[in-house]
């Protein structure tokens, strides 16, 4: 079985993870804002979430900030997510038997699940070739192979990455997003890519009660 894992630490799949913690039922992924607005037109109850150039898209309901989304009550809601890297890279890598998405926040739980299934080929795909995503790629690889590693080093690499700098130097961004993105939330679910009857791609929360 071939498994793809797509990583986006800052911030797409940290936001997705927190959205599920806050009660979201499903998260559709789209490649551009036009598709997002099209889904919203057909389904006015959907919540648009995402960013362009890291900032809120005009007409969207939520931005791509973990700090903002953690304050929302989202029980039973359906999100439509559009980001610069995470959603696009996921949609470009659907060529596997099973596909999972993660940031750092959900990576430890994901590896626990990987150890319960038979994998012939594991393809770990950073959304960017930058040290935030590459650090988590290294983290997942070492955990999967039962090798020792320092989580402090992984967190430091994320915090010191080029993309993280704007959260400390640009007032349009919230440095608390880095805190959430470098926190391992001990949740009992993983995030798997599925598609509906119209081939719309979405993230599904898969609970792991049997493994805890």
Cα(159)–Cα(45) distance, rounded to whole angstroms?
36
Q: What CATH number does residue 11 fall under?
A: 3.90.1560.10
Taking residue 53's Cβ as centre, other Cβ atoms within 10 Å add up to 7
In the chain, count H helices and then E strands.
Answer: 9, 8
Q: Is the CB of residue 189 less than 8 Å from the CB of residue 109?
A: yes
pLDDT digits (tens, 9 = 90+) for 53-95: 999 999 999 999 999 999 999 999 999 999 999 999 999 999 9
Residue 212 reports pLDDT greater than 80: no
State pTM to two decimals. 0.95
In this predicted structure, the answer to whether residue 191 has a pLDDT above a threshold of 50 is yes
Nearest to 130 by CA among 105, 165, 100: 165
Phi, psi of 66 (to 5 degrees): -60, -35
- Calculate the average pLDDT of the chain: 96
Residue 48 is predicted with a pLDDT of 99
210 confidence band (pLDDT: 50, 70, 90)? low
Based on the structure, what is the number of domains in the chain?
1
Over residues 138-161, the mean pLDDT reads 95
| Residue where the block lists tokens 């997510």 | 81
**Would you tell me how many other CB atoms lie within 10 Å of the CB of residue 65?**
24
2-7 and 26-29 strand pairing = unpaired
> How many residues are listed for the chain in this entry?
212
Phi-psi label, residue 207: left if phi above 0, alpha if psi -120 to 50, beta otherwise? beta
Quote the CA–CA distance of 91 and 130 in Å, as a whole number.
19
User: Domain residues for 27?
Assistant: 2-211
Dump pLDDT digits (tens) for 41-56.
999 999 999 999 999 9
pLDDT tens digits, 163-184? 999 999 999 999 999 999 999 9
Write down the H helix ranges in the chain: 12-21, 33-42, 66-69, 86-91, 107-114, 131-144, 151-160, 162-169, 176-181
With 80 as the cut, is the pLDDT of residue 146 above it?
yes
Q: What is the pLDDT of residue 38?
A: 98
Burial degree of 76 (CB within 10 A; 0-12, 13-18, 19+): exposed
DSSP 106-147: THHHHHHHHTTS--SEEEEEESSSSHHHHHHHHHHHHHHTT-
Task: Quote the CA–CA distance of 184 and 204 in Å, as a whole number.
Answer: 19
């Amino acid at each position: 079985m071939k498994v793809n894992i797509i990583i986006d630490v800052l911030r797409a799949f940290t936001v997705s993870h927190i959205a599920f913690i806050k009660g979201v039922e499903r998260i559709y992924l789209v490649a551009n804002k036009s598709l997002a607005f099209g889904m919203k037109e057909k389904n006015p109850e959907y919540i648009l979430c995402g960013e362009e150039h890291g900032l809120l898209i005009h007409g969207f309901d939520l931005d791509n900030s973990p700090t903002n989304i953690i304050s929302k009550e989202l029980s039973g809601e359906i999100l439509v997510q559009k980001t610069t890297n995470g959603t696009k890279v996921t949609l470009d890598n659907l060529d596997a038997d099973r596909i999972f998405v993660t940031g750092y926040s959900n990576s430890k739980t994901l590896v626990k699940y990987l150890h319960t299934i038979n994998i012939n080929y594991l393809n770990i795909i950073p959304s960017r070739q930058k040290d935030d995503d590459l650090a988590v790629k290294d983290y997942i690889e070492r955990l999967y192979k039962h090798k020792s590693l320092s989580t402090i080093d992984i967190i430091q690499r994320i915090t010191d990455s080029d993309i993280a700098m704007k959260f400390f130097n640009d007032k349009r961004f919230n440095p608390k997003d880095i805190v959430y993105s470098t926190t391992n939330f001990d949740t009992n679910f993983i995030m798997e890519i599925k598609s509906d009857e119209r081939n719309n791609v979405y993230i599904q929360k898969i609970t792991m009660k049997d493994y805890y």
